[in-house]
């Protein structure tokens, strides 16, 4: 019996070695009734160790997100979108964006309102991309079906209206995420890409966010709106009481009141609206345009065009309460301080909240931001309230107006970022990369001239000489201007790329122009440059090969051309969202010897397995083993990979002759060993001969 068991195990291993179709996820479906009219559809995925799939809210520039499509039915109505657990977030160096993924056991939930008293089915399709450290599996549409019991009662109009409202809100939120991520690199992704991929890094951790907000709150003390509040604060605490102990208690309560006022606002944003709503606010064109207008208004105010004040009623009422003494007085002094300082802290806080909430789904982000900012803002006032005599020597003067004007330049420059986001969302075409850079160069150039005393604004004192600090600030500013100038011709400007529109909006890129116009280097008289290929290649107007490579996107065309020129065909099963494919191209295909062999010795054919936008003509439709008609180019390519080579992962490389015969002993999977890949290519050439 033991021998039979061993034999059975060996046979099982032998069969497993031939089976290459990978299916590392198991799905189960269940229905949970919530009440008489509502149910919850539950999708549960159990992934094998090392495998992961991607969140609905992952960046569209990254891997392919999981998607759900429900078949319309009069028997039910969806409530909102498909809910998912909190994903794992990580900066991906290949896609240069934040990637959100799940591993292990994952549950997706969809609420519905049951409209039928009879039992019915909810059906549809969903798809997803699976990846591990070595390969990815292209998405296929999978059918799902839920058997749902009929409703015990008929849903009223209010419930239906609420369901429709939630569904629309979910669709708008996802649409906003997609539109915002159409930029080739968003602000947060670029900043993170230039730093180590560490889960504990400061700008991604909650502690880091809190510390940066704390520092920001402290720095705002020196803004022109906040600094004038210092004498009022000191005056109150110097004259409020002669009891030092009571005075210090009031000072602590005063500081606590400021923190409380900021924290309450943070709690409202975090708990009521939630991170997805904040993400929507931060990415939609309307709030971004509003932020630009706010920055522009404050900038014009700081330049001296007009003065912004909070409503007199608010300030007067808080002043009246402050005169009553006790612990209510410190609170109203704090309220007055927060209200009056709003004209400076408002834009800073708004920008910080937009930036942070668009880069994180953690509900604690906005709360910690406001809490940290409030503590930082309150700390100097609290210390000075405890020791008011320190402030007797602090006086505002001409330097304060200088700070005000510098802030005006900065707010004008940073306001353009919000206008750019609105522009990209709506495709207005107002701010391409050159225009944006030209405006920044002018703004920061004028700031440099102002720091050197060549420009003057209302309220500036006569500048007799330039101080050392002002000189160094001017040097830094003008050096920054010089740094930006090459960007007008396509320089990447990595230090500020997060603030700039994507490179795809650049009209002229000198590096790209040189590469496109450079002659093809021929080593053996047979280089396959784009000019040597047929101009009417299928899908060449929509698909592309890696930089420096040119090929076909239809296998039959590639085989016909290979027969004509007497070369083997190098098939690259790839995908738009295949991270490992990009790694192979970056680390292996960039090798000069690899490039020489592929471009000169082979006819290249890129078969995109996740291309869903290109519809095939009816005569090219394929019916798979399940009887499903495959109508898109990606579906056909994936079916070809599975049916011919028993493989559904990418990257996957196959070398064939013009008749379709495989020329290597084994096909090549993900492996960044350059020499091993060269040996594989040479094996194909040797067998071709």
How many CA atoms lie less than 13 Å away from 94 in the CB half-sphere? 16
The reported pLDDT for the residue numbered 217 is 76
- pLDDT at residue 6 greater than cutoff 80: no
Please give the pLDDT value at position 520: 44
Give residue 342's pLDDT. 56
Contact 447, 474 (CB under 8 A): no
**Same domain, yes or no, for 560 and 645?**
yes
pLDDT over 70 percentage in the chain:
66
For residue 137, give the nearest of 662, 668, 642, 629 by alpha carbon. 642
Residue 178: which H helix or E strand, with range?
helix 157-180
Of 150-154, 387-391, 504-508, where does mean pLDDT reach its minimum?
A: 387-391
Confidence of residue 521 (pLDDT cuts 50, 70, 90): very low
> Which helix (H) or strand (E) element contains residue 29?
strand 25-33
Check which CATH number belongs to the domain holding 136 and give it. 2.60.40.1250
The reply to whether 504 falls in a domain is no
Is residue 121 within a helix (H) or strand (E), and if so which, with residue range?
A: strand 120-127
> How much is the pLDDT for 272?
58
Band (7; pLDDT cuts 50, 70, 90): very low
Mean pLDDT of all residues in the chain? 74
Task: Provide mean pLDDT across the span 584-596.
Answer: 86
* Claim to verify: residue 614 and residue 654 sit in the same structural domain: yes
582 and 476 co-located in one domain: no
Q: How far apart are CA 440 and CA 412, in angstroms?
A: 9
- Do residue 382 and residue 465 come from a single domain? yes
Supply 213's token pair: 């907000």
| Residue 516 CB partners (closer than 8 Å, separation 6+) | none
| Same-domain status, 177 and 259 | no
Residue 429 domain flag? yes
Q: How far is residue 17 from each of residues 326, 349, 483, measured CA to CA in Å?
A: 82, 59, 57
* pLDDT (0 to 100) of residue 271: 55
In the chain, count of helices (H) and strands (E)? 21, 18
pLDDT classification of 385: cutoffs 50, 70, 90:
low
Give CA torsion, residues 378, 383, 385, 386, to 10 deg. 140
Q: Which two tokens stand for residue 480?
A: 């920054």
Does 7 fall in a domain? no
Give Dmax (Cα) for the chain.
103
In a domain, 166, yes or no: yes
pLDDT grade for 288, boundaries at 50, 70 and 90: confident
Residues 101-133 pLDDT 10s: 998 889 999 989 888 888 899 999 998 888 887
Q: What is the pLDDT of residue 195?
A: 39
- Residue 300 · residue 220 · CB < 8 Å: no
Number of domains making up the chain: 3
201, 208 contact by CB (below 8 A)? yes
The reply to whether 133 falls in a domain is: yes
Check whether residue 238 and residue 163 sit in a common domain: no
Q: Which residue has the higher pLDDT, 95 or 304?
A: 304
Give mean pLDDT, residues 546-554: 84
Asked whether the predicted pLDDT for residue 522 surpasses 50, the reply is no
As a whole number of angstroms, the distance between CA 392 and CA 396 comes to 11
Full domain range(s) for residue 64? 19-181
* Token reading at 451: 């720091």
Yes or no: say if 402 and 458 are a contact pair by the CB < 8 Å rule.
no
Inform me whether the pLDDT recorded for 333 exceeds 60. yes
Give me 351's structure tokens: 């920008």
Contacts of 580 by beta carbon, 8 Å cutoff, 6+ apart: 131, 134, 135, 136, 650, 651, 670
Residue with tokens 């604690």, as numbered in its chain: 364
| pLDDT tens column, 167-212 | 555 555 444 444 444 443 343 333 333 334 444 443 446 677 778 7
Look at residue 668 and tell me whether its pLDDT is greater than 90: yes
The mean-pLDDT minimum among 515-529, 610-624, 645-659 falls in 515-529
Q: What whole-number distance in Å separates Cα of residue 191 and Cα of residue 417?
A: 15
Q: Same domain for 549 and 494?
A: no
45 and 173 together in one domain: yes
The CATH number of the domain holding residue 607 is 3.40.30.10
Domain boundary residue among 499, 530, 552? 499
Give the C-alpha distances (Å, rounded to integers) separating 253 from 231, 250, 387, 509: 18, 5, 15, 58
Examine residue 440 and state whether it is found in any structural domain, yes or no. Answer: yes
Do 563 and 599 lie in one domain? The reply is yes
Predicted pLDDT at 518? 47
Between strands 603-608 and 569-574, the pairing is parallel
Instruction: Give the residues across from 42 on adjacent strands.
Output: 30, 109
Residues 560 and 616 reside in one and the same domain: yes
Q: Are residues 455 and 348 part of one domain?
A: yes
The DSSP 8-state label assigned to residue 417 in this structure reads H
**Are residues 522 and 495 part of one domain?**
no
Alpha-carbon separation of residue 152 from 112, 156, 197 (angstroms): 14, 13, 52
Give Cβ neighbours of residue 395 (< 8 Å, ≥ 6 apart): none
Q: Residue 437 above 70 pLDDT? A: yes
Is residue 141 within 8 A of residue 123, CB to CB? The reply is: no
For 377-397, what is the mean pLDDT?
63
**In the predicted model, is pLDDT for residue 361 greater than 50?**
no
Question: Does residue 190 belong to any structural domain of this protein?
Answer: no
Identify the pLDDT of residue 162. Answer: 57
Q: Map residue 602 onto helix, strand or coil.
A: coil
Last residue of a domain, one of 181, 215, 239: 181
- Answer with the one of 450, 472, 499 that is the final residue of a domain: 499
- Gap between the Cα atoms of 635 and 645, Å rounded: 15
pTM (predicted TM-score): 0.44
Q: What is the DSSP letter of 526?
A: -
Chain centroid, CA 447 distance in Å? 31
User: Is 196 within the bounds of a domain?
Assistant: no
- Residue 161's pLDDT is 59
Higher pLDDT, 459 or 180: 459
């Amino acid at each position: 019996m033991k021998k039979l068991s061993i034999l059975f195990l060996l046979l099982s291993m032998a069969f497993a070695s031939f089976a290459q179709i990978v299916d590392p996820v198991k799905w189960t479906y269940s229905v949970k009734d919530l009440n008489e009219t509502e149910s919850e559809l539950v999708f549960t995925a159990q992934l094998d160790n090392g495998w992961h799939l991607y969140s609905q809210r992952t960046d569209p520039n990254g891997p392919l997100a999981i998607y759900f499509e429900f078949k319309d039915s009069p028997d039910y109505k969806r409530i909102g979108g498909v809910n998912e657990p909190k994903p794992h977030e990580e900066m991906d160096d290949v896609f240069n964006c934040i990637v959100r993924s799940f591993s292990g056991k994952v549950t997706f939930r969809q609420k519905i309102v049951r409209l039928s008293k009879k039992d019915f089915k909810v059906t549809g399709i969903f798809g997803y991309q699976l990846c591990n450290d070595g390969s990815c599996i292209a998405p296929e549409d999978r059918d799902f079906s839920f058997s749902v019991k009929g409703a015990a009662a008929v849903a009223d109009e209010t419930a239906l209206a609420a369901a429709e409202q939630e569904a629309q809100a979910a669709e708008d939120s996802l649409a906003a995420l997609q539109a915002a991520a159409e930029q080739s690199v968003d602000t947060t992704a670029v900043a993170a890409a230039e730093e180590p991929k560490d889960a504990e890094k400061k700008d991604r951790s909650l502690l880091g966010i809190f510390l940066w907000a704390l520092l920001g709150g402290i720095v705002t003390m020196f803004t022109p709106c906040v600094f004038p509040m210092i004498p009022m604060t000191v005056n109150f605490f110097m004259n409020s009481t002669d009891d030092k102990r009571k005075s210090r208690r009031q000072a602590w309560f005063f500081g606590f009141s400021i923190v409380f006022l900021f924290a309450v606002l943070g709690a409202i944003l975090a708990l009521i609206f939630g991170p997805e709503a904040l993400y929507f606010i931060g990415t939609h064109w309307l709030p971004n345009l509003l932020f630009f207008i706010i920055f522009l208004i404050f900038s014009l105010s700081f330049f001296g065009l007009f003065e912004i004040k909070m409503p007199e009623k608010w300030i007067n009422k808080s002043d009246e309460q402050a005169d009553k003494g006790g612990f209510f007085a410190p609170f109203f002094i704090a309220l007055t301080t927060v209200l009056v300082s709003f004209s400076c802290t408002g834009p800073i806080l708004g920008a910080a909240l937009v930036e942070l909430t668009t880069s994180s789904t953690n509900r604690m982000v906005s709360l910690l931001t406001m809490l940290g900012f409030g503590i930082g803002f309150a700390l100097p006032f609290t210390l000075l309230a405890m020791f008011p005599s320190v402030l007797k020597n602090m006086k505002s003067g001409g330097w304060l107006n200088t700070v005000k004007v510098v802030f005006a330049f900065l707010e004008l420059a940073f306001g353009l970022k919000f206008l750019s986001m609105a522009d990209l969302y709506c495709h207005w075409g107002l701010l391409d990369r050159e225009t944006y850079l030209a405006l920044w160069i002018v703004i920061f150039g004028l700031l440099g001239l102002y720091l050197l005393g060549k420009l003057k604004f209302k309220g500036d004192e006569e500048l007799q000489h330039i101080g050392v600090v002002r000189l160094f600030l001017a040097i830094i500013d003008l050096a920054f201007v010089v740094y930006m100038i090459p960007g007008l011709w396509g320089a990447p400007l990595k230090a500020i790329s997060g603030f700039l529109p994507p490179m795809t909006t650049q009209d002229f890129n000198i590096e790209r122009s040189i590469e496109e116009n450079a002659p093809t280097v021929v080593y053996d008289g047979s280089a396959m440059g784009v000019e040597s290929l047929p101009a009417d290649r299928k899908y060449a107007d929509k698909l592309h090969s890696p930089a420096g490579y040119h090929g076909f996107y239809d296998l039959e065309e590639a085989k016909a051309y290979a027969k004509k020129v007497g070369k083997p065909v190098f098939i690259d099963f790839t995908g738009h969202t295949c991270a490992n494919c990009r790694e192979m191209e970056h680390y292996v295909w960039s090798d000069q010897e690899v490039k020489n062999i592929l471009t000169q010795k082979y006819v290249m054919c890129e078969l995109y397995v996740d291309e869903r936008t290109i519809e095939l003509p009816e005569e090219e439709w394929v019916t798979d083993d399940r009887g499903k008609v495959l109508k898109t180019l990606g579906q056909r390519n994936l079916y070809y990979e599975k049916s011919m080579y028993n493989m559904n992962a990418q990257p996957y490389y196959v070398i064939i002759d013009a008749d379709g015969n495989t020329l290597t002993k084994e096909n090549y999977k993900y492996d960044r060993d350059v020499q091993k890949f060269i040996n594989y290519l040479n094996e194909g050439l040797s067998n071709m001969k």
